[in-house]
Structure 1
Amino acid sequence: MNDKKLIVQSLRDGLLKGNAHVTFEEAIRNLPAEKRGEVPENMPYSIWQLAEHIRITQWDILDFSRNPHYKEMKWPHDYWPKERAPKNEDAWKKCMHEIKEDLHAFIALLEAPDANLFEPFAHGDGQHLFREALLIIDHNSYHVGEIVALRRLLGVWHG
């Protein structure tokens, strides 16, 4: 296996597997619907808000990585939902679906035959595909850990 394939496989594993921690799918598995919008005492957000934040941020990184006409979002306003709970089951399912689909779309960028992992994007200030992959891995794992902690505080973690 050449170096590029090995690097891409390692990034893919980091994006999809838990390695030293649980995956997003494991963190939300069997989460009771009524707990999605509950905010534990002394915590600033709900599991729904964390999931939506993961979705929004991951989409933004994907858009930045493939769109030379990328429009920067406002931090933190555009990255965090105000609603503590999903409007309904469909909103929850849509969020879960988009997280998965956008993650696979990002992996497709990495796996593209002509992908240059270290070439800076023309529209950025030095960012490249490898860096953005690490950013998604780091960001998602951080917030997945918060989801697990919230589930523990809510008494609904059985991991």
Structure 2
Amino acid sequence: MESETAILITELKKLLNGGGAHVGFKDAVAGLPFNLLGEKPDHLPYSIWQLVEHIRIAQWDMLEFSKDGNHQSPKWPDEYWPKELAPKDEATWSNTLRQIDDDLQAFVALLESSNLYDKIPHGDGQRILTEALQIADHNAYHIAEIVVVRRLLGAWKNEQ
């Protein structure tokens, strides 16, 4: 019989990779034309690039906090949001997408190798479970924004 913790880890992995109730990150950015990454339609405060880069920074920070007591988080909120509307080039875009995936896989590995319920020694009561839920919640929120921006730009699924 599968343990409750194994079931929880399986469900957390599904949630972190896009869950069943919302679009996952890879689907949200798939087929996105490079020239639209810096657009801010209808006076929205962020471009797709800024949302994606924010996801990268925040997820990286939560991963590093979870595993390294010497990690220094970026200054909130200034260092969590890029000032540039668009990436400088396609290589920067590709590298950001790769880092988001790599960091997510590293967090999943941490999730699988840690006790979910133990407090993170250098934290203020956080647990790997807490961080997993925070990453999933944070990413889902901003992934939804990416989809909305794509819809407003006419670049979502059947609109392309």
Q: Which residue of 2 aligns with 1:44?
A: 45
Equivalent AA in structure 2 for residue 128 of structure 1: R
Match of 2:135 in 1: 136
> What's the % identity of the aligned pairs?
50
1:107 correspondence with 2:108: yes
Any unmatched runs of 5+ in structure 1?
Answer: none
The letter for the 1-side match of 2:126 is Q
For residue 122 of structure 1, what is the amino acid of its counterpart? P
Alpha-carbon distance in structure 2 between the residues aligned to 1:62 and 1:79: 14
Aligned-residue offset at 1:70: 1.9
Q: How does 1:28-107 map to 2 (within 5 A)?
A: 28-107=29-108
* Aligned-CA RMSD value: 0.9
Write out the 4+ residue segments of structure 1 that deviate beyond 4 Å after TM superposition: none
TM-score, scaled relative to structure 2: 0.95
Tell me the amino acid that sits aligned with residue 54 of structure 2. Answer: H
Matched with 2:157 is 158
Of residues 18-27 and 43-52 in structure 1, the stretch that sits farther from structure 2 once superposed is: 18-27
Name structure 2 gaps, 5 residues minimum: none
**Alpha-carbon distance in 2 for matches of 1:60, 1:157:** 29
Question: For 1:59-110, what per-residue CA distance to the aligned partner results, in whole angstroms no more than 9, with x for missing partners?
Answer: 0000000001121321101100000000000000000000000000000001
Cα distance in 1 between the residues matched to 2:73 and 2:31:
35
Q: Hey, what's the Cα distance between the residues in 2 that align with 1:131 and 1:108?
A: 15
For 2:122 and 2:71, the matched residues in 1 are separated by: 8
Amino acid at match of 2:143: V
